[in-house]
Structure 1
C-alpha cells in the first residue's frame, strides 16, 4: 500500500481558513500537541482510507463530547449533593423533634417530682446562710498608672563630636558647642517634664488607691451592717418577735427554687402567742403542664406536629402540681424553723388569672391546708401520693382545679394589727345631692368605707390617732381585690401631693397588703398617676371616679368638689 503523505502547506492554509470560523473559547483549548496528534490521526486515517480528512472537525467533535460528559457529570454531582442535603436537613429536623420531645419529658419529670426532689436535695435556709462574706480585693491600678517611666538618658541627647582630625584642627568647635548647649537645655526640660509627669502619676496613684480603699470600706461596712441586722433578727426570732419571724419566712419562701418560672407572690402572718403561721402563696396556672406529649416531624409538610397530651392526664398532673407545691412549702418552712417558733402552718394557695366567663381578674383559692409540726414531721414525703397526703391532713383541694373552681380557705388574714374603730352610718344623714367637701374628714372616711362595703368588701375604719396613714382596711372576700386592701381617704379641694401617694406605697409594703387605694374628692397629678401605674399595687380614685362609684353602688348623686384644671397636651 502506498504511503499517504500530508501536504503541510495545504494543512496550514486550511488551518488559517478554519481558525476564522472556530470560536475563540474552543480554539484556545486546542494545544500544539493536539495538532500533532491530529496530524498523526489524519495520517493513520489516510492509510486506512476511513474517517474525515478534516482534523479540526474531529477536534471540535471531541471537545463537544467532553463538554457534554462534563455537563452530565456536573448534573449528577448536583443531584447527589441535593439528595445528601435533603437527607441531612430531614435528619436535622427529625432530631429537632426528638429534642423538643426530650424537653417536654424533662419538664413533665420535674413537675412530677417537685416534692420528692425538694425533700431529697433540700438544704434548709438558716440565719447563718443569710450572712454575707466579703474579702477586700487587692489594689490593682492601671498599667500606665503603676509603671514607673525611666529617667531621660543623656546619651540620647548628646550631639556627635567633630571628627578626630577636624576636632584636632579646631574645625566645627563652635557648632559643636552650640549643639551641646541646646542638647543640655533639651535634656534639662526632659528631666523637668519627667519629674512633673511622675508627680502627676503618683498623685493619680494615691487618689486611685484612696478610692479603692474607700470602696472596700463601704462594702465592708455594708456587709457588717447586714450581718449585724441578721444577727439582731436571729435573736428577735428566738424571742418570737412577729416582724423577725415574718421577715425570715419571707426569706425562706423567696429562696425556694421552682422550675418553669413559678409565681413568687406570697403573704405571711405570724401569731406569736400561739405559734401559728398563716401563709398565702400564688400557684401556677394550668398552662404549666405541657399540652403536647411529644413532637413528630412530617416530611411532606416540613413541619412539627405535636402529639396532644390526653386531657385527663393534664388535669391529674396539674392537680398533683398544686398538691406538691402546697406540701413542699410547708415542708420548707418547718425545716427552716430550727428554733421551733412555728407550731402550726395554715396555707392558702391561690392563682391569679382571668375569669373566662366575665373577663375580670380573679384570685381564687384552689388549695388550703392546716398542719401541726408534730403531725407533719411524721410524713415520709418521698413516698407519699401528694393528693392522698393532702386528704389525710386538714386540707381541701379544688375538685376541679383545671376549671379554677375555688374552695373556702380554712384560715384567713385578720385585722388584728390595725387599730379599729366602730363604724358610723354617714349615708343616713346626707342630703339628696351632698357635697363631699362639706363633710368632716371622719365622715368622709366612713362614707368611703360604706362605699367599699356596697361594692362587696368587708371594710372597717381605723382609729384616727396612730393610724400610720390607714383610714380603712378591706378584707379579701372579693377575689378581684386579691387580699388585704389599705384605703386612704383625702377630702381636699386641691391636687393630692405626690408625697401622699408615695407614702401610701410605703404603708402598703410595711403592712404587706395586696393593694393600696387612695380616694380623694379632688384629683391627682401626672407624676402621681405614673408612679401608681409603675408600682402596680396602687389604685387612685379621684372625684370623677367617686361620682360614678357612688351612683353605681349606692345610688347617691354626689358632688365631689372643685373641677380639676384642664391639662395641657403633652
Structure 2
C-alpha cells in the first residue's frame, strides 16, 4: 500500500513504512526492502508452509476421508457380507427348515403312503381271500346244486320206475285174505236183503287197497234170477301212465333237470295192459268176496270218467266189458309171471277197446242202474211255487223234490227216494265229473231248529255203508260247531239255510224266504228275508 511520504510493505502481515528520502533512509530502505523481501519470502514460505500444511492437512484429511471411506466401504462391505451371510444363513436356515419340513412332509406322505399301501394290500388280500372264499362257496354251491339236481333226476326217475312197477304189478300184487271179506258180505244176507248184499259187495271191494291213483269207485248190483253180480269199476285216465321215460341232469347254463319223454306207442301199450290187469283183478276180487252158492258169474264193465276232446262234454266210455262164469275164470292162473292180461281177456271173450288210450268205447254187457234204491216218481215243484216261497212252510215231499231239482241244475243226476225204508236218505245223486265224481247221499232237513250233530254223524255212517263218495245235509235251519268240525273229516258237506237260499236264487231264480222263529247265531235279518 502506498502513501504520500513513502511506501509501506507488508512484513509478516504488518505494514512497515519506508522512507524514500535520505541514505539512512536508503539503508533503511534496503533493510526495509530486505525485511520486506524477507518478510515477503517469510510470508511466502509461511504461505507455502501453510499451503503445504493445508495441502498436507487436505491430504491427511483426504487420506483420513479415504481411510474413513475405505473403512466405511469395508464396514459397509463387511455389513453387506454379514447381511449377505445372514441372508444366506437365513436362506440356508429357511431352506434347511423348508427341507426339514419337506422331509418331514415327505416322511409323513411316505408313512401315509406306506399305511395306505399296507391298507390297500390288506384290503386286496382280504378281497382276494373273500373272492377265493366266494369262489369256493360258489363252486361248492354249484357242486351242491349239480349234486342236488343229479339226485333230483335220480329220485324222479326212480319215482317214475316205481310208478311203472306199481302199474305192472297191480295184478300180481293182489292182497290175500279176501275170503274174510266174504263173511262180511254173507252177513248182509241174514235177513234176505238182496239190496243190502250189493251194498255189502261194494263196501268189501271198496275196502281193498290199490296203488295211489289207480283204485276208483266200485258199483255193484245183483240179479238173483241169473245169479249174476253186475260190477262196474272206474278205470284211471290215461294220465296215470307217466309220460316221462326218465329224468336226466343237463349241464347247461343254468344246469337243470330235463325229462325224457316216453314214446307214445309205449304209453298206449302200458295203458292197454293196465286196463286189462285192473279188469282181471276186479273180477277176481268180486268172485273172492261173494259166496259161490249165490254168485255164479260176473257181468263186468270198466269205464273212465273223461272229457270229450271234440265237445268238452263229460263222457264215460266203457273200455272193457265181459261176462264170465266163476268156473271159466278159475281156469286163469293170474299169478303166472308170463300171463298176458290182454290175451286173457280175449280168452274170456271180453269186448276190449282197440284203442283204450284214445278212449274208444265198446258196448257194455249190461246197463248199470240204481235198482237198490227205491226211487220215487219225479214231481215238478218249481212251477207251482209262489214268487217268494217260505221254505219252512213247504210240504216235506215238495221240499225234497225242490232239493233234487236244485242239484240237477247244479249238474248232478239226482233222484228222490221213497219215504219208506230209505235209511234216512231223502235223495241220491251222481256226479259224473272225472276223479271227483261218484254217488252222493242227500238228506234234506226242513226244520226250524238247529240240526243235531247226531244227524250229521248218521249221514256219515250211511255214506260209509253205501260206499258213496260223499254225503250232503241240506237244511232250512243251521248247524252247530260240532257238526261243522265233524263233517269235513267224514266226507259230509253241510248246506245251511242261508247257503241254500243263495243257491236257489243263483241256480233256480227262486228268491225264497226262511220263516224261522228266531235269528240263528251269526245270521243277519237279510239271510231270512
TM-score range, shorter chain: 0.5 to 0.7
- Distance, in Å, in 2 between the alignment partners of 1:472 and 1:510 is 16
Is residue 517 from structure 1 mapped to residue 469 from structure 2 by the alignment?
A: no
Partners of 1:486 and 1:508 within 8 A in 2: yes
Once the two structures are superposed, what CA deviation does each residue of 1:417-458 show, in whole Å capped at 9, x if it has no partner?
Answer: 334433333233322222222212222122223333444544
**2:385 maps to what in 1?**
430
Once the two structures are superposed, what CA deviation does each residue of 1:436-491 show, in whole Å capped at 9, x if it has no partner?
Answer: 22212222122223333444544333333433212222355676983333222222
Aligned residues: 377
- Distance, in Å, in 2 between the alignment partners of 1:407 and 1:446 is 35
Residues 251, 469 of structure 1: alpha-carbon distance in 2 compared, 3 angstrom cutoff: closer
| Larger radius of gyration between Structure 1 and Structure 2 | 2
Is residue 268 from structure 1 mapped to residue 220 from structure 2 by the alignment?
A: yes
Give the counterpart of 1:108 among 150, 164, 169. Answer: 164
User: Displacement, 1:249?
Assistant: 6.7
Is residue 450 from structure 1 mapped to residue 405 from structure 2 by the alignment?
A: yes
- Distance, in Å, in 2 between the alignment partners of 1:438 and 1:533 is 30
**1:557 maps to what in 2?**
511
Partners of 1:437 and 1:521 within 8 A in 2: yes
**1:317 maps to what in 2?**
270
Once the two structures are superposed, what CA deviation does each residue of 1:60-99 show, in whole Å capped at 9, x if it has no partner?
Answer: xxxxxxxxxxxxxxxxxxxxxxxxxx99x99999899678
Residues 309, 333 of structure 1: alpha-carbon distance in 2 compared, 3 angstrom cutoff: same
User: Displacement, 1:503?
Assistant: 1.7
Partner of 1:559: helix, strand, or coil?
coil
- Distance, in Å, in 2 between the alignment partners of 1:269 and 1:484 is 14
User: Displacement, 1:310?
Assistant: 1.7
Is residue 567 from structure 1 mapped to residue 522 from structure 2 by the alignment?
A: yes
Partners of 2:248 and 2:259 within 8 A in 1: yes
Once the two structures are superposed, what CA deviation does each residue of 1:242-292 show, in whole Å capped at 9, x if it has no partner?
Answer: 446754674466446x55663365343334443222334344444443333
Residues 509, 310 of structure 1: alpha-carbon distance in 2 compared, 3 angstrom cutoff: same
- Distance, in Å, in 2 between the alignment partners of 1:400 and 1:292 is 19
Q: Equivalent residues in 2 for 1:46-85 (5 A)? A: none
Partners of 1:348 and 1:365 within 8 A in 2: no
Partners of 1:125 and 1:252 within 8 A in 2: no
Partner of 1:450: helix, strand, or coil?
helix
Residues 475, 398 of structure 1: alpha-carbon distance in 2 compared, 3 angstrom cutoff: farther
Partner of 2:265: helix, strand, or coil?
helix
Give the counterpart of 1:277 among 209, 215, 229. Answer: 229
- Distance, in Å, in 2 between the alignment partners of 1:263 and 1:540 is 27
Residues 100, 484 of structure 1: alpha-carbon distance in 2 compared, 3 angstrom cutoff: closer
Once the two structures are superposed, what CA deviation does each residue of 1:184-243 show, in whole Å capped at 9, x if it has no partner?
Answer: xxxxxxxxxxxxxxxxxxxxxxxxxxxxxxxxxxxxxxxxxxxxxx86866877998744
Partners of 1:486 and 1:515 within 8 A in 2: yes
Partners of 1:124 and 1:335 within 8 A in 2: no
Partners of 1:263 and 1:283 within 8 A in 2: yes
Is residue 330 from structure 1 mapped to residue 283 from structure 2 by the alignment?
A: yes
Partners of 2:198 and 2:220 within 8 A in 1: no
- Distance, in Å, in 2 between the alignment partners of 1:126 and 1:457 is 36
Residues 102, 554 of structure 1: alpha-carbon distance in 2 compared, 3 angstrom cutoff: closer
Partner of 1:427: helix, strand, or coil?
coil
Residues 435, 325 of structure 1: alpha-carbon distance in 2 compared, 3 angstrom cutoff: same
Partner of 1:469: helix, strand, or coil?
coil
Once the two structures are superposed, what CA deviation does each residue of 1:526-552 show, in whole Å capped at 9, x if it has no partner?
Answer: 33233222222x232233333343334
Partner of 1:434: helix, strand, or coil?
coil
Partners of 2:168 and 2:274 within 8 A in 1: yes
Alpha-carbon RMSD: 4.7
Once the two structures are superposed, what CA deviation does each residue of 1:282-307 show, in whole Å capped at 9, x if it has no partner?
Answer: 44444443333234444566655443
Q: Equivalent residues in 2 for 1:188-207 (5 A)? A: none
- Distance, in Å, in 1 between the alignment partners of 2:306 and 2:324 is 31
Partner of 1:504: helix, strand, or coil?
helix
- Distance, in Å, in 1 between the alignment partners of 2:435 and 2:282 is 25
Is residue 506 from structure 1 mapped to residue 461 from structure 2 by the alignment?
A: yes
- Distance, in Å, in 1 between the alignment partners of 2:146 and 2:461 is 59
Partners of 2:463 and 2:469 within 8 A in 1: yes
Residues 540, 399 of structure 1: alpha-carbon distance in 2 compared, 3 angstrom cutoff: farther
- Distance, in Å, in 2 between the alignment partners of 1:334 and 1:366 is 21
Residues 240, 316 of structure 1: alpha-carbon distance in 2 compared, 3 angstrom cutoff: farther
Residues 112, 509 of structure 1: alpha-carbon distance in 2 compared, 3 angstrom cutoff: closer
Once the two structures are superposed, what CA deviation does each residue of 1:120-178 show, in whole Å capped at 9, x if it has no partner?
Answer: x8857324xx7xxxxxxxxxxxxxxxxxxxxxxxxxxxxxxxxxxxxxxxxxxxxxxxx
Residues 475, 235 of structure 1: alpha-carbon distance in 2 compared, 3 angstrom cutoff: closer
Q: Which moved more, 1:322-331 or 1:247-256?
A: 247-256
Unaligned 5+ residue runs, structure 1?
1-85, 131-229
Partner of 2:484: helix, strand, or coil?
helix
TM-score (norm 1): 0.53
